[in-house]
Amino acid sequence: MKKIFLIFLGAVALILAVAISYYMIAMSRLPADDGDLGQVEEIEVPPERPGTQSLILTGPIIRPLIFAIDMSKPNIKSLDWAELKSIDLTAEVKIKANVGPDGSLNFNPISDVRCPGHTKAGEMVGRVLQTWAFKPYKEGPITIRFNVGAIGKKLTIDISKLRRKEGVDPDTPIKVGRLYMIENGLKRNEVKIISW
Amino acid sequence: MAFRKENSTNKKMQLISLMDVVFILLIFFLVSIFFASLPNEERRIFIPTPKNEPGYAQVLIQLIDENSFLYIDPFVTEKLVKEITQIDKKTFMSVAQRLQQKKELIITKNTYPIISQDGSGNFLKAKLMTLVTQADAHPEEKYFAMIRCPDELPYAVVIDVVEILSRTKYKNIQYGCVGGTIDDIRNSKSIEKKMVREGSVLRRNVVIQF
């Protein structure tokens, strides 16, 4: 019985093999387009290729502008922090200035520099800051406050009231760079920038 | 030590597992014969096709007909962005009028004859060679050129373009070909500038919606 079953299976396999070889030989003689039409019909229509519904012309990379001290300007002096400390260890100087369209820092050394009780320090700071100039991307009021004796922030620069200069591309972002030229003792973490 | 003597009459071939193996082999060959017999085009059809995403192009080469083409590269796009900004400021004009002006700006200023009128030079080749030279000078940059070609135009023109673009030393110009006519731009629904952030990089693009 088992032998008959095996012979039967073998016969089925042989018939299958013969049928399939015949089918393959028959199909191979057909032109490519006529073979397996049913299979092709089942395949979904591929989606449209990119660029048929819209086009995006990619422009060049936009480099952000950096609003900072303009080092290319001549005569920019840096403030000697150690010297300021030697003049007045507890100096408190507040300068209300204006950044002009050309980036220059404009203020009146008498009326705009407030330093009650610390006149010498005020004069020294005012003298140095008058040489400072920024990159001409922003303009408007700026406040710079020195507090030499403070434990935390010894220098605060408020640029929140500055506005983008007219003519500067409105889409180009402006980042804040180095806004002061101070050497000899002032640490980076002792500076606070208020930009909002 | 006494060894047990095997009874030779009990030796039988295990046909069940043999049949299993034979059938598995049969199925394997059937399936592989089916795939091998498919023509190449049909075999490729199983590869996923790209989604219908917007077509990004740094360089657009729109073949108009056998005599003219539209060419836009990143420098032109930069100028276009500025001019589109100026047009958008003309609020006294209707939206349709502004769109018409943008279309004219894109098409009229950037359409060139393939061969110069006196027949002395091939503008298309010159433009492409400029791009190739630029790509060779900046191997770190990658360029993507989209070639749009109307269906009725001989494909040989596209092949000529591709041939020139593939002359780059550093192979930093990639290209893609797609069917489409200048009428797609002429009849576009909107043309806008758009700021796009790609990672840490900001780009100013021009989006043309067909």
Chain segment B46-94, per-residue pLDDT in tens: 444 455 567 788 899 999 998 899 999 888 998 998 899 899 989 899 9
Q: Which residues in A lie closer than 8 A to residue B77 (C-beta atoms)?
A: 57-60
Given an 8 Å threshold on Cβ–Cβ distance, is B51 in contact with A47?
A: yes
Q: Is the pLDDT of residue A8 over 80?
A: yes
Find the mean pLDDT for residues A32-57: 65
Mean pLDDT for B41-48 is 50
CA A189 to chain centre: 22
B185·A59 Cβ contact <8 A: no
The predicted pLDDT at position B47 comes to 43
- B84 to chain A, closest Cα gap in Å: 13
Greater pLDDT, B31 or B48: B31
Q: Phi then psi for A190, rounded to 5 degrees? A: -100, 5
* Residue B185 vs residues A86, B148, B198: alpha-carbon distances, Å: 71, 11, 25
Domain residue spans in chain B? 59-209
**B203 vs chain A: nearest CA distance in angstroms?**
5
How many other β-carbons are positioned within 10 Å of the β-carbon of residue B52? 15
Nearest by CB to B53, which of A50, A57, A59?
Answer: A50
Nearest CB to B74: which of A27, A60, A171? A60
Structure tokens of A114? 């407030």
pLDDT digits (tens, 9 = 90+) for A106-121: 999 889 999 888 889 9
Closest C-alpha to B84, from B100, B63, B71, B65: B100
Q: What dihedral do alpha carbons B27, B28, B29, B33 form, nearest 10°? A: 100
Question: Distance between CA atoms of B44 and B50, rounded to whole angstroms?
Answer: 13
Burial zone of B72 (CB within 10 Å; 0-12 exposed, 13-18 middle, 19+ buried): buried
For residue A175, the distance in angstroms to the closest alpha carbon of chain B comes to 13
Q: Mean of the per-residue pLDDT values for chain B?
A: 84
B209 vs B104: CA distance, rounded Å: 15
Q: So what's the pLDDT on residue B53?
A: 66
Determine the Cα–Cα distance for residues B191 and B106; give it in Å rounded to an integer.
10
State the pLDDT at residue A112.
92
Q: Summarize the confidence of residues A77-90 as an average pLDDT.
A: 91
Which pLDDT does position A108 carry in this prediction?
A: 92
Q: Are A154 and A121 in contact (CB under 8 A)?
A: no
Average pLDDT over chain A, rounded to whole? 86
Q: Are the beta carbons of A52 and B52 separated by less than 8 Å?
A: yes
Per-residue 3-state assignment (H helix, E strand, C coil) for B104-133: HHHHHHHEEECECCCCCCEHHHHHHHHHHH
Is there a contact between A43 and B180 if contact means CB atoms under 8 Å apart?
no
Q: Closest partner residue to B52 among A36, A47, A58, by Cβ?
A: A47
The answer on pLDDT for B6 being more than 50 is yes
CA nearest to B46 within chain A: A43
The ipTM estimated for the assembled molecules is: 0.72
Closest chain A residue to B196 measured between Cα atoms? A58
With a CB cutoff of 8 Å and minimum separation 6, the contacts of A46 are: B45, B49
Q: A62–B203: do the CB atoms touch at under 8 Å?
A: yes
Number of H helices and E strands in chain A, helices first, is 4, 13
Mean per-residue pLDDT for B133-161? Answer: 88
Contacts across the A-B interface (CB distance below 8 Å): 138
Domain ranges of chain A: 68-194
The answer to whether the CB atoms of A57 and B57 lie below 8 A apart is yes
A55/B210 touch (CB, cutoff 8 Å), yes or no: yes
Q: How many CB atoms lie within 10 A of CB A66?
A: 12
CA distance B17 to chain A (A): 12
Interchain CB distance below 8 Å, B19 and A9: yes
Q: Is the pLDDT of residue A6 over 90?
A: no
A138-147 and A92-99 beta bridge pairing:
antiparallel
Q: Which residues of A touch B33 (CB under 8 A)?
A: 20, 24
Say yes or no to pLDDT of A51 above 80.
no
So what's the pLDDT on residue A131?
Answer: 94
Work out the number of other CB atoms within 10 angstroms of the CB of residue B132.
Answer: 19
Question: Chain A residue closest to B74 (CA)?
Answer: A59
State pLDDT tens for residues A132-165.
999 999 999 999 999 998 888 999 999 999 999 9
Binary contact (A52, B208; C-beta < 8 A): no
